[in-house]
Amino acid sequence: MTFTYDAAQDCLLDKTILITGASDGIGRVVAAEFCARGANVIALGRSQEKLEALFDEIEAASPGRIIIHPLDLSTATSEEFATLAGALAEQFDALDGLIHNAALLGARSPIEYYPDSDWDKLMQVNVTAPFKLTKALIPALLRSRDARVIFTSSSVGRVGRAYWGAYGVSKFALEGLMQTFAEEVGNISEISVMSFNPGGTRTAMRRDAYPAEDPMSQPTPESLLPLYLYLMSPSAKKHHGQALDARGFEG
């Protein structure tokens, strides 16, 4: 059954939401949809060219709603995250949403042969960067009346699967980060924290992971938009600390 959510056109009016990995795939369509619903979106990605194309597209449809911030998470420093947090604080009263969408797939091979360099880079992007970015943005999240932090998970981060190496391990780590952060802020703030597994989706990463698969057999990123709108709604506060899956989701 496909999840449906009847959201008002201005359901995100003047909400401020930061999305990593916003230049491609799921992040890209979520950024566009959120801007169309009235949100101010900070789109973070490593490709300035792709971000500029996204900016042009959204600016034409939803003027003044999109800010792009090129940043390579594989090399980003704590100082760069602090600079981003400072710039955001100067422009907005609070941060109402943080969607950790960016990730690397990396090698898929037995642990015995897994490249050390792949492991180090992937852990930096998939685990360390979300940790440091969340840490830097906690003051802005605390100023929100209803903030949401969403860590993008995967089925291979819920149950271990052979040959998925650092990608699977990194998603397990994100689940732990989500649970720890949720426990820390649950009773002392208006921040709701959860993980979300979008499942197989028609993206470039999916094609890399399953090159023999017919891409048309997977749902589009656009099909997930009702879920992302719901997760940003007040109704989703009840999912604080939970690991959610797109497939079979009933709200």
16-20, strands of its sheet edge to edge: 66-70, 40-45, 16-20, 97-100, 147-152, 191-197, 243-245
DSSP string covering 117-172, please? HHHHHHHIIIIIHHHHHHHHHHHHHHTSSSEEEEEE--GGGTS--TT-HHHHHHHH
Q: Which residues contact 245 (CB under 8 A, 6 or more apart)?
A: 155, 196, 197, 199
Tens of each residue's pLDDT in the chain, 251 residues: 578 898 999 999 999 999 999 998 999 999 999 999 999 999 999 999 999 999 999 999 999 999 999 999 999 999 999 999 999 999 999 999 999 999 999 988 999 999 999 999 999 999 999 999 999 999 999 999 999 999 999 999 999 999 999 999 999 999 999 999 999 999 999 999 999 999 756 556 655 555 655 655 566 778 899 999 999 999 999 999 999 999 888 87
CATH topology of domain 16-243: Rossmann fold (3.40.50)
pLDDT digits (tens, 9 = 90+) for 206-237: 555 556 556 555 667 788 999 999 999 999 99
| Number of other residues whose CB lies within 10 A of the CB of residue 78 | 12
Q: In the block, which residue shows the tokens 């932090």?
A: 149
Q: Which of 5, 114, 167, 230 is catalytic?
A: 167
Q: Catalytic annotation on 167?
A: yes
pLDDT digits (tens, 9 = 90+) for 81-95: 999 999 999 999 999
pLDDT for position 248: 83
